[in-house]
Amino acid sequence: MQLSAFRGEKLVLKNVNFTLNSGESLIIQGPNGAGKSTLLRILAGFKKIDSGEILWNHENIFDNLIQHTQNVAWLSHQDSLKPALTVRENLSLVSHIYKTDLRDALQTVNLSSIIDLPARMLSAGQKRRVAIARILLKPARLWLLDEPSVGLDQQTMEILAEIFNQFKSENGMIITTTHVPLPLPNSQYLQLTPSSIVKAPF
């Protein structure tokens, strides 16, 4: 892999390298600005790299990004819910596309009772749980999660542990950023540090 990437003029990722197999998880750590979200965006195919390559089953993900996006489910830092739409409406498109059970997903995150509430009326933790339900609705091989536990209470952390465990036992792969301990035993760790390297002006 050995990938490097700039954001603007700043070298954010330098020679990052890891391998992940089916059923494994990787926890990306580092201080604010170290490039954790940037790395997730790259792995999701949303941002190009400046050197190196990312291989999925020996093939460069950037050679067929449409195919790659089908392998990936993405939980961003924001929950990306439409405030005026109900929980059901926010999730119905993804559940319709993949023919997956919206009620099951909401039940897993303990949100069945608020299925018809508009997203703008949800608490921060409830919004996070809806975003996690959306991950469950896409039959992806790789989950890319940006600080998945933000706003979650202890009970939901236990649910998250079960969700992670189940997904990995079905050979799913998880790559996640976090600033706090996550219920993901037997993970690899990748430590990023902020870089001070900037592009030469010419």
Ligand X SMILES: Nc1ncnc2c1ncn2[C@@H]1O[C@H](COP(=O)(O)OP(=O)(O)OP(=O)(O)O)[C@@H](O)[C@H]1O
* Minimum distance of ligand X from residue 197's CB (angstroms): 11
Residues 6+ apart with CB under 8 A from 41: 47
Residue whose CB is less far from ligand X, 75 or 105: 75
With CB under 6 A as the contact rule, which of the stretches 5-13, 18-26, 96-104, 110-118 interacts with ligand X?
A: 5-13
Verify binding: residue 154, ligand X, rule CB under 6 A: no
Binding flag, residue 8, ligand X (CB under 6 A): yes
SS3 (DSSP) at 100? coil
Q: Which backbone phi and psi does 5 adopt, to 5 degrees?
A: -155, 140
Segment near ligand X (CB under 6 A); pick from 3-11, 17-25, 109-117, 168-176 = 3-11
Nearer to ligand X (CB atom), residue 10 or residue 88: 10
Parallel/antiparallel/unpaired status of strands 3-7 and 25-29: unpaired
Show the site string, 88-107: x = touches ligand X by CB under 6 A, - = not: --------------------
Nearest-approach distance from CB 20 to ligand X, in angstroms:
19
Residues in the chain, overall count: 202
Helix or strand holding residue 177 (H, E): strand 173-177
Question: Does 12 contact ligand X by CB under 6 A?
Answer: yes
**End-to-end Cα separation, the chain, in angstroms:** 28
Binding to ligand X (CB under 6 A) within 14-73 occurs at 30, 32-38
Q: Please give the Cα distance from 58 to 195 (Å, whole number).
A: 29
Nearer to ligand X, 38 or 149 (CB): 38
Helix, strand or coil for residue 66? helix
Q: Which residue has the tokens 């997904």?
A: 167
Return residues touching ligand X (CB under 6 A): 7-8, 10, 12, 30, 32-38
